[in-house]
Structure 1
């Protein structure tokens, strides 16, 4: 004797239930994967942060040693500090000026967005400016 065939309504309800279960499982997998990725990124930031702190400390020690060595040669620690620090101050000033120029309001406007909106408007109205 053949098993009874389920009704169409029962098949649809089972399909919807299984589909809902599948979507729930996919969302849970995405949440777990995202949590793992966020933890990994935070770990990388912690490593980079520590490395930057140690690098700054090491460079400071190198610069202090350079000032002390130069002071021993020329006899003035103040002049040695000025000689060692001047190139760093010049580079910092140049970088600051470049950064300020880059942050100018005209450079921060969304130019590509404006061009794309104009293209889309032209396409919708039937104009072709290309």
Structure 2
């Protein structure tokens, strides 16, 4: 027994329904990916904050010890503070620039969502062409 051919109206209706389902699934994918990126950033901020607090406390103690020891050798506490502090300030600047680049907006874009939309568009184009 032959299956009846669907009418144009039912084909369009089914196509729209499938298209709507596809758009809904892709929006859900984008939402999940964005939520994951936000959670990852918040976790990184918390870890960096804790690490920074501990590092600052340790560096203060190290700076004081180095400055006092160098000041005893050269006779000037101001010059000793400049000699000790300059390399640490340079490293801090480099790390800040690197961290800022890592947290750039371009690194937070939903890449999987973009790839999936491209694949789906190509699939629909192939289906329409056939």
Structure 2 length-normalised TM: 0.55
Please tell me whether residue 85 in structure 1 is matched to residue 81 in structure 2.
Answer: yes
Query: Where does 1:36-47 land on structure 2 (aligned, <5 Å)?
Result: 36-47=36-47
Q: Using CA pairs below 8 Å that are at least 6 residues apart, which structure has the higher relative contact order?
A: 2
Q: How does 1:61-80 map to 2 (within 5 A)?
A: 61-70=61-70, 73=72, 80=77
Residue 3 of structure 1 corresponds to 3
- Runs of 4+ with >3 A deviation: 67-71, 86-89
CA distance in 1, matches of 2:80, 2:57: 17
Contact 1:67-1:84 within 8 A present in 2 as well? yes
Cα deviation for residue 52 of structure 1 reads 2.0
Aligned residues, how many?
86
Q: RMSD in angstroms over aligned alpha carbons?
A: 2.6
Check conservation: 1:63, 1:84, Cα contact below 8 A: no
Greater Rg by CA: 1
Following the alignment from structure 1 to structure 2, what is the Cα–Cα distance between the partners of residues 50 and 37? 20
Q: Over residues 50-86 of structure 1, what are the superposed CA-to-partner deviations in whole Å (9 max), with x where a residue is unaligned?
A: 2222221111000122244456x47x9xx53x34334
In structure 2, runs of 5+ residues without a counterpart are: 90-130
Matched with 2:17 is 17
Once residues 83 and 64 of structure 1 are traced to their aligned partners in structure 2, the CA distance between those partners, rounded to angstroms, is 13
Q: Summarize deviations over 1:4-44 as a string: whole Å, max 9, x none.
A: 11111011001001100100000001100110011111111
